[in-house]
Amino acid sequence: MEVAPGGCTASASAHDPAESVNRGLFTFNRVLDDYALKPVARGYEKLPEPVRGGVHGFVDNFGEPKVFVNDLLQGNLKRSANTLGRFGVNTIFGVLGIFDVAERWGMPHHRADFGQTFGVWGVGDGPVLELPLLGSHNSRDSLGVVMGVLLDPLGGIDSDTYDALATASTVGGVVDGRAEALPLTERLERQPDYYAALRDAIAQRRAVLVSDGRQGDIHSSVDARCATPVGDSL
């Protein structure tokens, strides 16, 4: 599931021809969220900020190779060099990203994924798909999620240690992202139609990220609140 707050500005509208089916799947996803993800995220929020910051940094760092690949595919060479530098610095000096040394050295973090890359290439959003466990995506970003799973730059590493780190990154990313999104989803839940509010917020966020990829500046123009994902670790 992904969310974007109202502070993100972009012109985007969700095309949802299968809305009745999507709403049924959304109900299923919401039950899982209410009884599994959300309680865990609230417990995670009670951890000391340095612990949560370390988890967030580790997850971001583990995802940098995919960001690097997408930077290259988008033609953003400066961004790709920045991402490669971040990964090297934070892996070595930041203890696998637990400490964001690269940020202090002038290498800011930004997001890039395959769905965003397709958008930069001019691929349209396509219809909305509510995916079991993964939440609402347009069809372009649904393909991007699949590509992100299949085309892992480090996926060829045959190591129990790597597998353990990958599992920790996936689990940590889901919990950390859900905790970060709690204030946003709680606000959206107060809307008359939570499904539509969340769907449109996601469409808005994705439009902002595609625009950011087209600009290609290492200092992302995306408001930090717009880059709050739940489930982007895939």
For residue range 83-118, what is the model confidence (pLDDT) as tens digits? 999 999 999 999 999 999 999 999 999 999 999 999
- When pLDDT is averaged across residues 126-151 and rounded to a whole number, the result is 94
pTM: 0.89
- Tokens, residue 32: 């899982």
User: H or E stretch including 131?
Assistant: strand 128-131
Please name the residue that has the structure tokens 């580790």: 58
> In the predicted model, is pLDDT for residue 55 greater than 60?
yes
Average pLDDT value over all residues in the chain = 90
Q: Decide if 232 is inside a domain.
A: no
- Give residue 155's pLDDT band: very low, low, confident or very high (50, 70, 90): confident
DSSP H or E segment with residue 138 = strand 135-138
Q: How much is the pLDDT for 10?
A: 54
Average pLDDT over residues 212-217: 92
Question: Domain count of the chain?
Answer: 1
Closest of 81, 151, 166, 153 to residue 118, by C-alpha: 151
Q: How many DSSP H helices and E strands does the chain contain?
A: 9, 2
70 lies in some domain:
yes
Cα–Cα distance measured from residue 90 to residue 42, given in angstroms and rounded to the nearest whole number: 28
Is 51 part of a structural domain of the chain?
Answer: yes
Could you tell me if residue 12 is inside a domain? no
**Looking at the domain assignment, is residue 52 inside a domain?**
yes
pLDDT at 27 over 90: yes
Whether 211 is covered by a domain: the verdict is yes
- The per-residue pLDDT for 223 is 54
Confirm if 219 and 17 have CB atoms less than 8 A apart: no
Q: How confident is the model at residue 12 (pLDDT cuts 50, 70, 90)?
A: low
| Residues of the domain holding 67 | 19-227
91 found inside a domain? yes
Q: Phi-psi bin for 229: left (phi > 0), alpha (psi -120 to 50), beta?
A: beta
Q: How far apart are CA 84 and CA 220, in angstroms?
A: 16
Residue 152: inside a domain, yes or no?
A: yes
pLDDT in tens, 109-131: 999 999 999 999 999 999 999 99
Pairing relation of β-strands 135-138 and 128-131?
antiparallel
